[in-house]
Structure 1
Amino acid sequence: MATPDIPKQMRAIQVVGFKEPYQINTVDVPDPSKLGPYDLLVKVAVASYCHTDSMIRNGVFGTALPVIASHEGAGTVVAAGSSASDWEGARVMCGLPFHPCGQCQDCNGPHESWRQYCANIQGHCGVHRNGFFADYAICDARSSTKLPNEISFLSAAPLACAGRTVWRGIEQAGLAAGQWLAIVGSGGGLGHLGVQFAKKKGLKVIGIDARDGGLAITKSMGVDLAVDARQGKDAVVRQVQQVTGDTGADATVTLSDAPPAAALACAVTKMHGDVVQIAQPDDVVVPFQEFVFRDIRVKGSVICSPKESEAMVRFIAEQGVEVKTNVFEGLDKIEDLLELVHSGGLQGKAVIVVDQEQIDKEKELGAKY
C-alpha cells in the first residue's frame, strides 16, 4: 500500500539531448498505484555518478530521451508491487536490471552468476530508463539488495554498480587466498574497492595505475606492490615478475579503458592465466603474442547477480570496506560534481545527497561503512 505523503511531482536531473548539459526539471513522481509485481518505489537518499553516465549522455547506448540520469542509487522503499510487499520500509541498494524475462537460460538456468545477462530485459535503470538523480525512482526487487544496518547510503549508492561490478570481477578471477591478483586501474572508483575486496579475501595484490592520485590511493589501500604504468610495458612486467617469482600474476582484472590497458593486463598475467575485462573501451586490443602464444584467457564481466550482490554486502558488513566518496549536497550541485569529475582530481566516487533526513536516521542503526 502506498505511503500517503508521496508527492505528485519531484525534481530530477535529466539527459534531454546527447552531448548536451544536464537539466534539472520538475517531473511526475512514478504512480505507486501502477507498480508492477516486483517494482519498488524508492525515496532516493543518495545517487552516484559513474563513468557510464558520460557514455549515456554521449548516446553510446541509444537511450530514448529524456531520461533521468544515474544508475547508482540507494534509499528507502516507500511502496512496492504485489510480489514484493515485504520490501516496504527496507533500506536498499537499487538494482540496475529492470524486468528480466524470467524465462531464458540466464534467468532460469543453473548458473546463478548469469542472472544479470538476460537478453530480453526491459532495460537498465539510469541507462535505458529513468535512474536515481531524483527524489523518487523505480527499480526491480529481483535485482535490488536489502542493506545491512552497517552499510550507509553514502557507500551503498556507489556500490550499486562500481562495487557490484568489481566484486564479480574478482570472483570471476577464481583465485584462492595467497595467490597474486593484478588490477589495472587500481586507483579509480572501482579499483580502490577491488583492492580492498581482494586483500580482505586474502589475495596478494598488485595495483597498476597511470596517475599520481591513482597510485596514491592504490598504496593507501594496502597493495603488496604498486606500479606506475607510465614506465612502459617492459618495466611494469619486470616488476610484476620480480615480486611473483618470475611467473606473473595468477589473474588480472582490467578496470582501465586506456588503449594499452588490456594488452598490459595480459602481459603481466602468468601463462595460462585469466584476465577479466571490465573496462569498456570502444575496442579491446591485445597483441597476439600476449594472447595466443601465452594461452591467456580473457573473459568479460558486468555487475553481478542478485545472490552475488547479497554476498558482497554481507562481506562488507563483516569485513569493513571504505568507499571513498566526494559528497555534494542536493541535485543543484550537479555542475560542481561534473567539474570535479572532469578536473582529473577525482579520488573515489562522486555522489549527490538527495535526502539528508534518511542519512541522519540511519546513524541510529549503526551504519559505519
Structure 2
Amino acid sequence: MATKVEGIPSEMTAVQVVEFHKPHQINTVPTPKELGDYDVLLKTAVASLCHTDSMVVEGMFPKGGLPRTASHEGTGTVVQVGAKVKNFKKGDRVMSGIPRNQCQTCFNCKGPDDWHQYCENCEGMIGVFRADGAFADYHVADARTSCKVPDDVSLIDAAPLACAGCTIYRALIVTECKKGDWLAMVGAGGGLGHLGIQMANAQGFKVIAIDARDEALELCRKAGAEHVFDARKGQDEVVKQVKELTGQDGADATINLSEHETAAPLACAVTKMHANMIQVSQPAVVNIPFAELIFRDVRVKGSLVAGQEQSRDMLSMVGKSKIKVETNVFKGLKEVPKMVELAHSGKMKGKAVCVVDESQV
C-alpha cells in the first residue's frame, strides 16, 4: 500500500535526460507524491557524476523512457519512509542504493548478497532506467539496497561511493586476492581506480597501477600506489616491467577499469597464468586475444556493484582506513552542466560531485 508523502514542497529542481544524445536539462518537476512499502524519501545532500551517466545520455539504457532524472550516486537525509521500512528512520544519513524494488523471487534475488544486483525484474535503477536519480532536491531510494552513512564518512565522500566505491569494492572481492598478493589495475587513475588503490592497500595487497594520462598517473601516486606504470609505453614494455617486479609470474589478479580497446588485452597480459582478470569497464565489445584465454588460461570475470552487506562493509572500511575520495566539488544543481564538461575534458582527477543541499554537509 502506497504511503502519501507529506511536509515537502510540491515542486523541486531536477537535472534530467529529456532526449538521448542531448545535454541534460534543468527542470522544475513535481516532488515524489507516494512511497512504496520499502521506499525511503531522501532530501538530497550530494549527488555525484559517474561514467554511466554519459551512457544513459547516449541511450544505452532505454528501458522506461524519458525524461529521467540523472545520477545514481546520491546521499541525503531521510524525510519519510514506506510502510514496511524498519532499517531507516527520519533524520538518518543515507547512501542511496542503485536498484529499486527487486523482485525478491528470481534466482538472483534468492542468491548471495551481491547477486541481488543482477535481478532482471527490478523496478529500475535510480538515474539509469525506470527510476529517477539523485540530481534533484529530493529522491527516492530502496531501503533494501541503501546504507546508513557512518559518522566518520562525510556525505560528500559517500555519494561517489554509491556506485564507484561499491563497484571497485566488489571487484576486489572477485579477484580472490589475499594479503601479500600482487594486484594490477589497468585504468587505475580514475574515479574507481584511486579508490581501489586505497582499498587494496588497506587489505594488504601489493598494488601495480597502470594508466595512460599524466593526470591519472599523478592520482595513482597520490592514492598510494607504490608501483605506477605508463601504458603509453606499449604493452610489451608494461608486461616486461610487471614481470620484473613480480618475479616473472605477473600479477596474481588484475582489474580492468579502462574502456580503451587495448586495455583488456593489456590487463590479461600482465596477469599470471590461471589467474583472474576482472572486467569492470563497459565498452560495447571486450576484445581479448584467444591466446590469453586458452594458452595462458587467464580467467576473465565480469563484476557489477556490491550488495547491501558488502556496501556496509565498504563504508566501514572507508571510515576506519581513512580512505580519501578525490572530489571536484560543485555547488548547486545549476552547476551540473559544468561538471559534465569537466568530466568529458579528460583533465578531471577523481570524481565530480554536486552539493545539492549545503546545510547537510
TM-score by length of 2: 0.97
> Which runs of structure 2 are paired with 1:253-332 in the superposition (5 Å)?
253-332=255-334
Say which SS state the counterpart of residue 48 (structure 2) adopts.
Answer: strand
- Aligned partner of 2:121 in structure 1 is 120
Matches within 5 A, 1:244-259: 244-259=246-261
Give the distance between the partners of 1:343 and 1:113, measured in 2 at CA. Answer: 33
| Partners of 2:52 and 2:287 in 1: CA distance | 20
User: Residue 30 of structure 2 corresponds to which residue in structure 1?
Assistant: 28
Corresponding residue number in structure 2 for 1:221: 223
Letter in 2 for 1:218: C
Answering whether residue 56 of structure 2 is matched by residue 42 of structure 1, we say no
Is the CA contact (8 Å cut-off) linking 2:330 and 2:352 kept in structure 1? yes
Partner letter of residue 356 of structure 1? E
The answer on 1:74 being equivalent to 2:82 is no
Q: Is the 8 A contact 1:326 1:351 kept in 2?
A: yes
* Alignment partner of 1:358 is 2:354: no
Work out the CA distance in 1 between the residues paired with 2:359 and 2:86: 24
Q: Secondary structure at the match of 1:284?
A: coil
How far apart are the structure 1 equivalents of 2:105 and 2:132? 24
| Aligned-residue offset at 1:5 | 3.4
Alpha-carbon separation, structure 2, partners of 1:347 and 1:79: 36
**Contact 1:3–1:78, Cα closer than 8 Å, also in 2:** no
**Structure 2 CA distance for partners of 1:139 and 1:69, relative to 1, 3 Å:** same
Amino acid at match of 1:121: C
Conserved in 1, the CA contact under 8 Å of 2:4 and 2:35? no
Q: Cα distance, 1:224 vs. partner?
A: 2.7
Task: Report if the CA contact (8 A) 2:114-2:305 is conserved.
Answer: no
For 1:153, the equivalent position in structure 2 comes to 155
**1:92-131 matches, cutoff 5 A:** 92-109=94-111, 111-128=112-129, 129-131=131-133
Q: 1:165–1:284: structure 2 CA closer, same or farther, 3 Å change rule?
A: same
Secondary structure of 2:208's aligned partner: strand
Q: Does 1:175 align with 2:184?
A: no
Equivalent AA in structure 1 for residue 56 of structure 2: I
Mapped partners of 2:318, 2:324: distance in 1 = 9
Distance 1:338 1:185 in 2: 20
Pairing of 1:201-216 with structure 2 (within 5 A): 201-216=203-218
- Offset from partner CA, 1:68-123 (integer Å, 9 cap, x none): 011110001100011115412210000001100111121113x2221211111111
Partner Cα distance (2:247, 2:346) in 1: 35
Distance 1:197 1:354 in 2: 28
**Which amino acid counterpart does residue 313 of structure 1 have in structure 2?**
L
Q: CA deviation at 1:204?
A: 0.1
Which sits farther off after the overlay, 62-71 or 77-86? 77-86
Name the counterpart of 1:363.
Answer: none
Aligned residue pairs: how many? 356
5+ residue gaps, structure 1, are 360-369
Are the aligned partners of 2:328 and 2:351 in contact in 1 as well (CA < 8 Å)? yes
Q: Using the alignment, how far apart are the partners of 1:222 and 1:314 within structure 2?
A: 19
Check whether the contact 2:184–2:207 (CA below 8 A) recurs between aligned residues. Answer: yes
**In structure 2, what is the Cα distance between the partners aligned to 1:85 and 1:252?**
39
Distance 1:222 1:93 in 2: 26
Per the alignment, residue 362 of structure 1 pairs with none
* Residues 275-326 of structure 1, C-alpha deviations (whole Å, 9 max, x = no match): 0100000100001112210001000000111111011011112111000000
Distance in 2 (alpha carbons) for counterparts of 1:2 and 1:228: 55
Moved over 6 A (4+): none
Gaps of 5+ in 2: none
